Structure formats: structure tokens, C-alpha cells
Structure 1
């Protein structure tokens, strides 16, 4: 079952995801390195407000 990238909202297959991070005991998956880096700057923002589209 695909996961949703918390930064941009794209669907990501956990089995093939290259970018992931563990935060507060939960694994999050990302479509790109840029989304992963953006999430790691302020994870609580994305978990509270939801995906905002691709970071610039």
C-alpha cells in the first residue's frame, strides 16, 4: 500500500522508496531528496498542516 509524501502529497511505495526518515517512532517516505530535507527542517509543520506541494 502506498504512503503519502508528507511534504508534496505524492504517493510513494515503501518497498522501493529511496528516501525515508524515522520521526517519533514512525517511518515517513518521500518522493525526492528535496522533500526529505524539507520535512526534516520542520516535521511537525508538515504533520500538522499536511502536504503543501513540491518545495522550491
Structure 2
């Protein structure tokens, strides 16, 4: 399972309807809302998730 970078919800890669390719990586989302939020500020969400995984 992967995590939605916006809300942190677990997302099944094979069943995900919403996804975005950004800088060579595919990100998966639980909803259209989260996908759209990511598209507005992708660097913000990537950085937030990296900081959380470092803790």
C-alpha cells in the first residue's frame, strides 16, 4: 500500500483512480480533491511526506 501524499490515507496502487506523474515518479490519491491539491503545490506535499518519514 502507498500513502496519498496530501491526506496520508493508504491507497492501493492497482486500484487507484487518481494519479499524477511528477518528476519521474507516480503519486496516487484517494480522491479527486487530493489529486487537485497536489497539482497546485506538489513540492509542498512531497516535502511534508519526506519530513514525516524522517521522524
Which consecutive segments of 4 or more residues in structure 1 shift more than 6 A? none
Q: Which structure: greater helix fraction?
A: 2
Question: Which structure has more RCO (C-alpha within 8 Å, separation ≥ 6)?
Answer: 1
- Which runs of 5 or more structure 1 residues have no equivalent in the other structure? 51-56
Map 1:1-56 → 2, pairs under 5 A: 2-50=1-49
With structure 2 as the length reference, what TM-score do the two structures score? 0.86
TM-score (norm 1): 0.85
Q: Structure 2 stretches of 5 or more lacking a match? A: 50-55
Aligned-residue CA RMSD (Å)? 0.5
